[in-house]
């Protein structure tokens, strides 16, 4: 491509490469610093039961605002942290922050709100994953039964037997297990069925097209049906419109997560949301 457009394109291309590698160097240096100073925040996004409209839990989503880089999206820095191995200390900082928030909620009367945390592949693969996560929870007096671990299809697709054993241990300790972004990893439900799972989260790329594309609707419909046969509860991710909620309800989906109900919000706002929701959920016309 660059060649076709002559010499100048090479120059631009080279400039771009330099810019990219500069950013990566800065990203790595700043990420290291921020892990040291624990300069991350956690936002929480409510998950709503479509059946009784209760808040069945929240998903913890990390936020990074850096003085040199500004707001960096987790879709950029999480994969980068995985490539550099920084995901291990970063994940521990995130877990600590979540535990601190749980302690804070407890002091304000919110006792059993279930929290899901995203677990990166490389983190999950560590031999001492279970011991380390347990140590952090114990340090903050948090119980595994309040936690749900979100693993992507990609994570459970390697080394099936090792993963089954790990998941059985975690489940016996009280953790709940979800498969995140289901539908994007080309695995099948029959493969997934060997794992002791609680929830299947259908990826937003499917959910957001159910009202416009008949084949996406058919896929989501059959995922929900098969998941129920396997005794899994189904969470729809990225739900933004009332029409999507209606359709998902018709398809017997269990849980809704998305901007339609709430964006991910800081811990301090979450308590207000919970209070407000107690009133809102009584309204008949609220879906």
User: Applying CB under 6 A, which residues contact ligand C2E?
Assistant: 45, 60-62, 73-75, 78, 94, 118, 120, 150, 180-181, 204, 237-240, 258-259, 264
> In whole angstroms, how close is the CB of 197 to ligand C2E at the nearest point?
16
Site string for Mg ion, 128-167 (x = CB under 5 A): ----------------------x-----------------
> In whole angstroms, how close is the CB of 76 to ligand C2E at the nearest point?
9
Decide if 233 contacts 21 (C-beta within 8 A).
no
Residue 34 CA to its chain's centroid (Å): 21
- 23, 91, 88: which is closest to 62 by C-alpha? 91
> Angle 87-107/7-37 helices, nearest 10 degrees?
50
Binding partner of residue 78 among Mg ion, ligand C2E, none, CB cut-off 5 to 8 Å per kind: ligand C2E
How many whole angstroms separate alpha carbon 248 and alpha carbon 239? 9
> In whole angstroms, how close is the CB of 140 to ligand C2E at the nearest point?
16
Radius of gyration of the chain (CA): 21
Is 30 a binding residue for Mg ion by CB under 5 A? The answer is no
> In whole angstroms, how close is the CB of 269 to ligand C2E at the nearest point?
15
- Name the helix (H) or strand (E) containing 168: helix 160-173
Half-sphere exposure of 83 toward its Cβ, with a 13 Å CA cutoff? 10
Half-sphere exposure of 241 toward its Cβ, with a 13 Å CA cutoff? 9
Site string for Mg ion, 164-203 (x = CB under 5 A): ----------------xx----------------------
Tokens, residue 173 = 């300790």
Cβ distance to Mg ion smaller for residue 101 or 180? 180
Among 39-47, 62-70, 231-239, 247-255, which window interacts with Mg ion (CB under 5 A)?
231-239
Interacting residue ranges for Mg ion, rule: CB under 5 A: 118, 150, 180-181, 237
């Amino acid at each position: 491509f660059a060649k076709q457009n002559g010499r100048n394109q090479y120059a631009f291309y080279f400039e771009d490469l330099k810019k990219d590698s500069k950013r990566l160097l800065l990203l790595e240096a700043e990420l290291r610093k921020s892990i040291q100073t624990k300069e991350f925040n956690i936002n929480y996004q409510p998950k709503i039961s479509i059946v009784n409209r209760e808040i069945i839990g929240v998903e913890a989503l990390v936020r990074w605002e850096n003085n040199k880089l500004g707001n960096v999206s987790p879709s950029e820095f999480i994969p980068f942290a995985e490539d550099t191995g920084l995901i291990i200390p970063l994940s521990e900082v995130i877990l600590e922050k979540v535990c601190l928030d749980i302690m804070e909620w407890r002091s304000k009367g919110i006792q059993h709100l279930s929290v899901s945390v995203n677990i990166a592949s490389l983190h999950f693969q560590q031999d001492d994953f279970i011991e380390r996560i347990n140590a952090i929870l114990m340090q903050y007096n948090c119980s595994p039964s309040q936690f749900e671990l979100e693993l992507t299809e990609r994570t459970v697709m390697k080394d099936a037997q090792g993963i089954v054993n790990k998941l059985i241990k975690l489940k016996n300790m009280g953790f709940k297990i979800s498969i995140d972004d289901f539908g994007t990893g080309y695995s099948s439900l029959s493969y997934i069925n060997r794992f002791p799972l609680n929830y299947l989260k259908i990826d937003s790329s499917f959910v957001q097209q159910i009202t416009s594309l008949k084949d996406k609707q058919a896929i989501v419909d059959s995922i929900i049906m098969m998941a129920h046969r396997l005794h899994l509860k189904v969470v729809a991710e990225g739900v933004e419109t009332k029409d999507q909620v209606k359709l998902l309800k018709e398809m017997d989906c269990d849980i809704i997560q998305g901007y339609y109900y709430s964006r991910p919000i800081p811990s301090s706002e979450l308590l207000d949301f919970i209070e407000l929701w107690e009133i809102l959920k009584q309204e008949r016309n609220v879906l």
